[in-house]
Amino acid sequence: MSSLPESVMALDRMVHEPARLVILSALSTAQAAEFRFLEFLTGLTPGNLSSHVAKLEAAGYVVIEKGFRDKRPLTTLKITDAGRAALKKYREQMKKALA
């Protein structure tokens, strides 16, 4: 059985960061979410949210889709299977670490 420090150190830091954890958690409960909704939900500035989303995209945890609605730019995010698996693993590791 691993010790608390070892189990905490084994956490996926990409998921563990609070803003990214909120983003992934929100996306895991929906088919997709608009950037503006995530901005409202997290309370992050557009630039800060963009930075976190870019890191999640680079890790393969989210997909960013750009399009238009009524001639206005629209950015939509979806969690990937890898992102869903990483979030599930993170939750399991946290439960074990806190047990």
Predicted pLDDT of residue 10: 78
Could you give the C-alpha distances from 62 to 16, 33, 55, 68, in angstroms and in order? 15, 11, 9, 19
pLDDT at 1 over 60: no
pLDDT at 36 over 80: yes
Q: Report the helix count and the strand count for the chain, using DSSP H and E.
A: 6, 3
| 4-98 placed in CATH 1.10.10.10 | yes
Predicted pLDDT of residue 2: 57
Asked whether 72 and 28 are in contact (CB, 8 A), the reply is no
Assign 75 a pLDDT band (cuts: 50, 70, 90).
Answer: very high
How many residues are given for the chain?
Answer: 99
pLDDT at 15 over 90: yes
Give the span between the Cα atoms of 60 and 33, in whole angstroms.
17
